[in-house]
Amino acid sequence: GENVEQHPSTLSVQEGDSAVIKCTYSDSASNYFPWYKQELGKRPQLIIDIRSNVGEKKDQRIAVTLNKTAKHFSLHITETQPEDSAVYFCAASDTGTASKLTFGTGTRLQVTL
């Protein structure tokens, strides 16, 4: 089955700096890669996703890059703000298998003033 590794497990940045979270996956058949943000005690919420036919996707301060050859994808947050503090999860899915997601273990991002 799919295995997703995520690094780092914790990340502390100053407000206004950039943050980068990296994930690797094992199954070359995976073709959908979402990122979820989870605030303390809340449900995971999708913030951005990318499909295998695209190398990069951007939404305001958030961007995701995908390298299919190396089987890794990354989340980039620019101009970080205190409200970006949360746990971020990457995931991978082969859309041919009921879109089952395999999640990474999460990155706790702390944005300090």
Provide the Cα torsion 98, 4, 105, 38; round to 10°. Answer: -50
- Choices 11-19, 63-71, 75-83, 97-105 (CB under 8 A): range interacting with another protein: 97-105
Q: What is the C-alpha to C-alpha distance for residues 103 and 105, in angstroms, rounded to an integer?
A: 7
Q: Is 83 helix (H, G, I), strand (E, B) or coil?
A: helix
Q: Is 49 in the site for another protein (CB under 8 A)?
A: yes
Binding to another protein by residue 101, rule CB under 8 A?
yes
Kindly state the DSSP code that residue 2 receives in the 8-state scheme: -
Please identify which residue in 26, 28, 105, 112 interacts with another protein, judged by CB under 8 A.
105
Q: Which residues bind another protein (CB under 8 A)?
A: 1, 6, 32, 34, 42-46, 49, 89, 93, 95, 98-106
